[in-house]
């Protein structure tokens, strides 16, 4: 019971933080492309959208979170690194995050093609591509505030259709940040992103453990 209340409080706080950070801009923690889309348990690999440290770390965090909370069979990051030479070498995603379509399932055909190449090596039913943009650290009278834009695309195979997506800004601030260094605060913020999104994914699908 108390867990449920805490979950509601956490969701409310997450939504409030997102709203505060994005103002009136539209955002999606996790949405399905079509309201009738059903995401069912299967194999999944989380792919970093670029070679940036934050994106590679997010792929690790999402892999762990999906393993912990869902019935997906999740490919480990070590397997992805072993099987795909020079992974993660592509920046798949700049054209998406810079586009007006970033808060939608849209993905350009050439990006879809590159991700399909990864999927053919990994052989999973789903590929979840995750990436970030615009990491900011600002100092105020009340301490240090951190913020980052997060995006994802969940692609289903065969077919290569985008069935889910994310686009939102996550923030971390207040007195909690005073106890940690910059990199640890950013790491904790990325951890919260993976928790938010996997929770959103479970709400809209049938994958909860």
Partner 1 sequence: MHRIKIWALLPAVVFLSSCISTFSVVDREPVAKGKKLAVISGLNKPENLMYAAFLTQSLKKYTMFQVMPQEEVKARVPAYPFRIRGPYLSYIGLDADYSRTNIKKIQEIQKKLGADYLYVIWAPSSYTVNNGVIVLCTVGQMFSFPGGKEIGRGDYSLSWAKPGAFVIGPKKSPEETMLYFSELSAKEIAEKLNMTKPGPAGKN
Least separation in angstroms between CB 181 and partner 1: 6
Task: Select the span of 79-87, 109-117, 121-129, 195-203 touching partner 1 (CB under 8 A).
Answer: 79-87
Among 1, 24, 85, 175, binds partner 1 (CB under 8 A): 85
Q: Is 81 in the site for partner 1 (CB under 8 A)?
A: yes
87 vs 165 by CB, closer to partner 1: 87
CB 73 within 8 A of CB 58: no
Restricting to residues 99-158, which ones interact with partner 1 according to CB under 8 A? 132-139, 144
40 vs 136 by CB, closer to partner 1: 136
Which tokens in the block code for residue 166? 């994310």
Q: Is 95 in the site for partner 1 (CB under 8 A)?
A: no
Among 9, 12, 20, 94, binds partner 1 (CB under 8 A): 94
Task: Select the span of 44-52, 109-117, 153-161, 191-199 touching partner 1 (CB under 8 A).
Answer: 44-52
Q: Is 86 in the site for partner 1 (CB under 8 A)?
A: yes
CB-facing half-sphere around the CA of 157: CA atoms within 13 A? 19
Size of the site for partner 1 (CB under 8 A): 31
Which tokens in the block code for residue 145? 């505030």
Identify the three-state secondary structure at position 85: coil
CA dist 17 and 23 (Å) reads 10
Q: List, in order, residues 6 or more apart from 1 with CB less than 8 Å away.
A: none
CB 144 within 8 A of CB 180: no
Among 43, 76, 91, 103, binds partner 1 (CB under 8 A): 91
Buried residues in 161-200 as b, exposed as e (16+ CB within 10 A): ebbbbbbbbbbbbeeebeeeeeeebbeebbbbbbbbbbbb
**Residues that bind partner 1 in the complex, under the rule CB under 8 A:** 50-54, 56-57, 78, 81, 85-89, 91, 94, 132-139, 144, 181-184, 186-187
């Amino acid at each position: 019971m108390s867990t449920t209340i805490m979950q509601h409080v956490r969701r409310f706080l997450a939504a409030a933080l997102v709203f505060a950070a994005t103002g009136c801009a539209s955002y999606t923690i996790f949405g399905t492309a079509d309201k009738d889309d059903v995401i069912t348990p299967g194999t999944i690999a989380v792919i970093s959208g670029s070679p940036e440290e934050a994106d590679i770390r997010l792929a690790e965090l999402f892999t762990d979170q999906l393993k912990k909370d869902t019935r997906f069979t999740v490919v480990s990051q070590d397997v992805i690194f072993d099987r795909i030479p020079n992974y993660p070498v592509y920046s798949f995603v700049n054209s998406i995050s810079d586009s007006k379509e970033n808060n939608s399932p849209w993905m350009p055909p050439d990006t879809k093609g590159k991700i399909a190449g990864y999927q053919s090596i990994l052989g999973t039913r789903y590929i979840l591509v995750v990436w970030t943009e615009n990491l900011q650290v600002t100092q105020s009278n009340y301490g240090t505030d951190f913020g980052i834009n997060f995006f994802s695309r969940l692609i289903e195979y065969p077919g290569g259709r985008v069935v889910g997506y994310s686009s939102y800004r996550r923030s971390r601030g207040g007195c909690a940040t005073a106890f940690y260094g910059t990199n640890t605060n950013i790491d904790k913020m990325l951890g919260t992103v993976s928790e938010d999104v996997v929770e959103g994914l479970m709400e809209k699908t049938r994958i909860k453990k």
